[in-house]
A and B are shown apart, each in its own frame.
Chain A
């Protein structure tokens, strides 16, 4: 049986752990690459906030329960990781779009792909996709 999810608490904890870790990684990557449309923390604080958040998350995961027990199979971990990372990406894009102030950054509407998030929020990028 590939997907048993026998340990409910572990499933929940692992999902939260991966979700917060991915959110931290996104803030680090956004700060390093200047992707303002992905950042939920202002650029100068992105790296510090990402590292602090990740460290807190790791300490919580390791210390909150005994993790050395039979729990999740490889496929279950893979599935939960996919879900956690997708949720973190959606959260980051949504919050960043809500916090975005129009005209707060440089404008360059010709960019496509993730490069566009240097110049506009994800919401604006999707809107510009509809109009072009």
Chain B
């Protein structure tokens, strides 16, 4: 399994430095800010979508559930980072490093966790926008391998963790009733929900 992971890593990371435009694209997408912000803004906009009060409330509960999901999956990532402090690829083998050297453990990949948790949240609001969000999250995750800072298994487990967190989010929102309903009611009183 470990050798398959390294082989896959070498295949993807081996492409780095060969094509200037592919490197530029990866470097534009791989940074810690762009893709998470785009996905979070899609959720922010989703809060105000909908043509009826009922539809809007469904979307807003979806946004709340996604926030809870991202928090849950991030917490799980933090614990797994502590339990399995896997070194980054550039610490153990020769890599084409196009990115700065992150100081936290490699497993699971936090950007993959956040990207996929947010993408599933966007998908639950709007299927078309959600499909685009999944493409962005996938490119974001794969680019971490391409630039040499994560193994394929790191991003795969990260993606699963993010999806799980976002899938559990709606249940947690239901368990914590009447808090979400009160919060939405408060926002509604101020014309914000």
Contact = CB atoms under 8 A, between A and B. Distances in A.
Do A and B form a real pair?
Answer: yes
Nearest to B71: A78
A52 B36 CA distance: 20
A29 B30 contact: no
A117 interface: yes
Nearest to B31: A67
Given A74-B74, A113-B193, A17 B32 contact: no
A68 B193 CA distance: 36
Nearest to A118: B51
Given A62-B34, A68-B100, A114 B44 contact: no
Contacts of A35: 48
Category for how many chain B residues contact A = 35 or more
Nearest to B111: A74
Contacts of B160: none
B191 A81 contact: no
Contacts of B192: 89, 114
B41 interface: yes
B34 A32 contact: no
B85 interface: no
Contacts of B74: 74
Contacts of A17: 33, 37
B129 to A, nearest CB: 10
B41 A18 contact: yes
A100 to B, nearest CB: 14
Contacts of B34: 58, 61-62, 67
Given A113-B188, A116-B191, A68 B27 contact: yes
A77 B36 contact: yes
Contacts of B51: 33-34
B16 interface: no
A74 B38 CA distance: 15
B72 interface: no
B155 interface: no
A77 B33 contact: yes
A72 B41 contact: no
B99 interface: yes
A113 B192 CA distance: 6
Interface of A: 14, 17-18, 21-22, 24-26, 28-30, 32-35, 37-38, 58, 61-62, 67-72, 74, 77, 81, 85, 89, 112-117, 122, 125-126, 129
Interface of B: 27-28, 30-34, 36-38, 40-42, 44-51, 53, 56, 74, 98-100, 102-103, 110, 114, 187-189, 191-193
Given A22-B41, A112-B188, 20 more contacts: A14-B33, A14-B37, A18-B41, A22-B44, A28-B45, A29-B47, A33-B51, A58-B34, A61-B33, A67-B33, A70-B102, A81-B37, A113-B188, A114-B192, A114-B193, A115-B56, A117-B191, A122-B191, A126-B191, A129-B189
